[in-house]
Structure 1
Amino acid sequence: MLTSNGRPVEQPTLEEVIIRRSNHNDSTNAGHRVNHSIRASEVRVISPDGEQLGIMHPNEARDKAKEYGLDLVEVAPNSRPPVCRIMDFGKYQYDQSKKAAASRSTRVQLKTVQLRPNTDEHDMDVKLRRAKKFLEGGNQVRFVMRMRGRERAYTQRWVEHLGELLADFSENYETPINVVSSPRGEGWRIHAIVEPASTS
């Protein structure tokens, strides 16, 4: 292939192609510079076992990583020189994703249970058992009692009613609770928030 000046286009070597592809792929690795994306003139290298291998040029460090059949990963870019560790980067990413998933699964959530001022006994039992299940899962529960029409004229009565309901809940459903937010009226609804007593 010729350029516009009639000169032959210099084709990249196979090694250069591999490096370019590696640089492109490495630049997307969750903020970590990996292998050929490491740009520092020298790096401090740590072995897979945590042994300090010393300060060296990145090319030498990459060669050492190849000897282990692993990747060279920049773990402390702001150090002088940057610190790199020889590791299985794919396994590292997998472990990090598992930790993030575990963190999300253990995060306390706020669940909502909807009530009405005149909820019948059966429906109330179903809703309170649902609240019990949420609390046993370590979550907070927000009780929301919706008022309609003339019910709003008796807001204070329903506030007291929800308070009595929560007072009886712990004993009737054998679920110790702490009241995070006491029952109070806001417009057409009354709400309160409770949590498992063990989280206090």
Structure 2
Amino acid sequence: MEERIIRGGKKGQQTTQKNRINEDITGKEVRLIDIDGEQAGIVSLRDAQAMADEAGVDLVEISPNAEPPVCKVMDYGKFIFEKSKELKEQKKKQKQIQIKEIKFRPGTDDGDYNVKLRSLRKFLEGGDKAKITIRFRGREMAHQEIGIALLNRIKTDLEDISSVESFPNRVEGRQMVMMMAPVAKK
């Protein structure tokens, strides 16, 4: 089966046409479904084409592998439009979860802590995952317990809307990373 490329829509966008229409349909007989969606039975390809021309629409091959092939009398442009509309609706319903990162330091002040905590709360309530990074510099590496205490504080402050996916048990390089995911809404 030969595939046609139809150009349209946004510049450079291509869609492949999977259904053969009108003169592209091969075979002597087809199982026909008329414009109302009713089974018309097995008819010759010429008769089916004549019915489509009479109705002013296209003859579209729906199931080419069936014996004989199943064809439907319909407006092909409208059919493609409806199909693309359905695909857009499906894409719209899919929510892509993103990972948002907030960086803290072991000496993060209370004011800054509260601002960053509000941001984390907003991300988690929006359905995104959060990555909390504690970055150590210089002599701060000797006081890793401060970083763990800060992560525990964040964990307790956000336990009502999130759960911890991974909690660090050691420093990786010069940072500690904790992953949090939003709790499923009931």
For normalisation by structure 2, the TM-score amounts to 0.71
Q: Does 1:62 align with 2:49?
A: yes
- Residue type of the alignment partner of 2:166: S
Q: Give 1:134 shift.
A: 2.3
Gapped regions of structure 1 (runs ≥ 5): 1-23
Is contact 1:163–1:182 with CA below 8 Å preserved after alignment? Answer: no
Q: How far apart, in 2, do the equivalents of 1:36 and 1:154 lie? A: 78
Give the count of matched residue pairs. 166
What is the aligned partner in structure 1 of residue 8 from structure 2?
A: none
Q: Does 1:82 align with 2:90?
A: no
Q: How far apart, in 1, do the equivalents of 2:83 and 2:179 lie? A: 37
Please identify, of 69-78 and 158-167, the stretch whose mean Cα deviation from structure 2 is larger.
158-167
Q: How far apart, in 1, do the equivalents of 2:144 and 2:20 lie? A: 60
Alignment of 1:153-164 (within 5 A): 158=147, 161-162=150-151, 164=153
Say what the alpha-carbon RMSD is for the aligned residues.
3.0
Alignment of 1:160-171 (within 5 A): 161-162=150-151, 164-169=153-158, 171=160
Q: Does 1:98 align with 2:100?
A: no
Partner of 1:102, secondary structure, is: helix
Q: How far apart, in 2, do the equivalents of 1:83 and 1:63 lie? A: 16
More strand by share: 2
1:131 pairs with 119, 123, 128, which one? 123
More helix by share: 1
Q: How far apart, in 1, do the equivalents of 2:167 and 2:92 lie? A: 29
Partner of 2:42, secondary structure, is: strand
Question: Structure 1 pair 83/115, CA: closer, same or farther in 2 (3 Å)?
Answer: same
What is the aligned partner in structure 1 of residue 179 from structure 2?
A: 192
Is contact 1:112–1:144 with CA below 8 Å preserved after alignment? Answer: no
Gapped regions of structure 2 (runs ≥ 5): 6-15
For normalisation by structure 1, the TM-score amounts to 0.67
